[in-house]
A and B are shown apart, each in its own frame.
Chain A
Amino acid sequence: MKRIAGWMLASPATLAITLLLVLPVAATIGMTFGPSDGGPWGIVQPYANFFDSAFQRRVLWRTFEVAGWVTVISLAAGLVTAYVVARCPPWMKSTLVVLAVFPLLTGVVVRSFAWLVLLGRQGMINEFLLWTGMIEAPLSMLYTPGAVIVAMVYIFVPLMVLVLVGVLENIPEDLLQASSSLGAGPVASFVQVTLPLAVPGLIVGAVLVFTASFTSYATPHLLGGSRQMMMGTFLQQRAMVAFDWPGAAVVAAIMLAVIVATVLVMTRLARRLNPMAT
């Protein structure tokens, strides 16, 4: 009875996700396998082809690099900011949280565009540096890995701050009081109590930022262009410009594999490192 009622209520969502997500994505992955007699690599020939190209290897590696840097920088900046925000008096804390939520709710296109305005050839930073006389000719900052990383950090820091404020607030206050009553100063308490207890949350934040930057499209498209192709922009280029759908499917499958592996490994690690869970 309960079983039937439960399934009835859950079936529309189950059907929609199965038919419109699981099957199409499975079909995409299915088309990445070549014929069983196709070439020395057999059915994984399309993957062999992908890794055979130095350009495509470069795209994949660049995506790892950019996503890695974005994750590390966001984690560091987010942790410091969240630590301060979590310790502020309540009225100030809510103001700071609102100020972090605002950029988060503003679209990725708008926020990436802001960096186009700042970093462009006639952008604000160049105009300013020319005006001060520090440079003679405008610097070209757009379409560099640095531009993509800065803009992505800009996009993901608010998310990281909000996640980490939640994580830090979940650490019971009396543990920090116990630590200071036993003689630990603010730094010692942070290193010996706060940080070890925040690790699972830090991992969650890092996974969120890594997966989102690994698969992002708009920011690398606007600030990296075709010179700094990443997996997202490459997938779009294969599918919509080159009309090489099998090639695009291989890119999609590799992205999916990286994301699923990251999420599985890291959530398992986070669970292992969570002292509250044992």
Chain B
Amino acid sequence: MTLPLTIDAITAHYGTTKVLEDLSLSLAEGELVSLLGASGCGKTTTLRLVAGFLQPTSGRITLGSKDLTRLPAHQRDIGLVFQNYALFPHLTVRENVAFGLKQRKVATAERLKRADAMLDRVGLAHLADRLPAALSGGQKQRVALARALVIEPPLLMFDEPLSNLDAKLRVDMRVEIRQLQRANGTTALYVTHDQEEAFSISDRVAIMHQGRIMQLDTPEVLYQRPANAFVANFVGFENLIPLTVSARNGALVTAQTAEGAVLELSQDQLGPIPDRFTLATRPDGLVVTTDPAASGLPATLGLRTYLGRAYQYQAKAGGLSVVANSALSQPLDAGAAVRLTPNPEQCAILQPE
């Protein structure tokens, strides 16, 4: 079963603090959308509003044709996977999985059969009679997943489900979650603070900040074409260089910093460039050259750190502090005067805000 989820102009408060402002979000049937952001950005609040653990101040939440906004949590029919698994410690694995079916008055034999079938799917059939305390973290998370899936909810929600697992297991589990969600075709809302996790698993990702969605797009678009400085910074464009166009020659654009340093950029590679814009680059997007004649930002190198595949430099380019990686085999010393040339593959154009 699957239904589309619509969150329409939701505002929410904790006491007098506004935590969400006029937030809207739609999930198509079978789509997995992640809410990504630092703690306090409102992603978990959004999930709790949809789950019914919090009440919005205004706005509407609908699942298919059903208005959830004022419905009690236990009537919403949403499969929820918690960060701390939230397995019932007094029930066996099988009883945990069967819990939701029991509330739906499914006959005992039938619900144990379905619970066992679901445990089989997540590969835990042999642990059905254990108590949760006897399971590892990864096993607990599988049980939590089975428990949420077995009720065949039209919507699944995940609240940082992998944050308590170690790195290797996180990767395995997210693949597994994605496969199960795809196989069932269930609409899913996934909350995480881990960018790699969100990008790898989602159809679309909403990057959130201070109770608002900053950008909602596919992982590819977010990664390559961030819409604003916040998102750019979030996805690793550490350097933000404000520029003004001084000349245009076909696709070729000449732009200047406030201090008069000149950069040449190609609209073929970077897309349309407005007259005033910000060039966002990753550390790999600024190529360090010692050739004083090369075009680019004149800069003075500062602290050097070694990353293994490259050296990273803190650099001063006029009034700007930037970070640049250099694959040069010879490390350069602090104080060296260099030029920083943009590598268009690792750059993005931000419209003026």
**Residue among B82, B88, B100 with most chain A CB within 10 A:** B88
CB within 8 Å of A: which of B134-166? Answer: 134, 147-148, 151
Complex: chain A residue closest to B74, CB-CB: A180
In the complex, whether B104 has a CB less than 8 A from a CB of chain A is yes
A-B contacts counted at CB < 8 A amount to 75
**Residue among A177, A178, A184, A278 with most chain B CB within 10 A:** A178
In the complex, whether B133 has a CB less than 8 A from a CB of chain A is yes
- B82 cross-chain contacts in A, Cβ below 8 A: 174, 177-178
Interface string of B65-84 (1 = CB under 8 A from A): 00000001111111110111
Q: A178, B80: Cβ atoms under 8 Å? A: yes
- B100 cross-chain contacts in A, Cβ below 8 A: 182-183
Main secondary structure of the interface of A (DSSP, over half): helix
In the complex, whether B86 has a CB less than 8 A from a CB of chain A is yes
Q: How many Å from the CB of A88 to the closest CB on chain B?
A: 15
- A278 cross-chain contacts in B, Cβ below 8 A: 131, 133-134
- B134 cross-chain contacts in A, Cβ below 8 A: 278
Q: A177, B51: Cβ atoms under 8 Å? A: yes
In the complex, whether B89 has a CB less than 8 A from a CB of chain A is yes
Interface string of B16-51 (1 = CB under 8 A from A): 000000000000000000000000000000000001
Interface string of B106-148 (1 = CB under 8 A from A): 0000000000000000000000000101100000000000011
Q: B78, A181: Cβ atoms under 8 Å? A: yes
In the complex, whether A179 has a CB less than 8 A from a CB of chain B is yes
Q: How many Å from the CB of A68 to the closest CB on chain B?
A: 27
- Expressed in whole angstroms, the Cα–Cα distance for A275 and B52 within the complex equals 28
In the complex, whether A276 has a CB less than 8 A from a CB of chain B is yes
Interface string of A242-278 (1 = CB under 8 A from B): 0000000000000000000000000000000001101
7 closest Cβ pairs, A-B complex = A182-B100, A183-B103, A275-B90, A178-B86, A275-B89, A181-B80, A180-B74
Q: What are 28 A-B interface contacts by the 8 Å CB criterion?
A: A174-B82, A174-B83, A177-B80, A178-B86, A180-B52, A180-B73, A181-B51, A181-B73, A181-B74, A181-B148, A182-B74, A182-B99, A182-B100, A182-B103, A182-B151, A183-B77, A183-B100, A183-B151, A184-B74, A184-B99, A184-B103, A186-B74, A188-B103, A197-B89, A197-B90, A275-B89, A276-B89, A276-B133
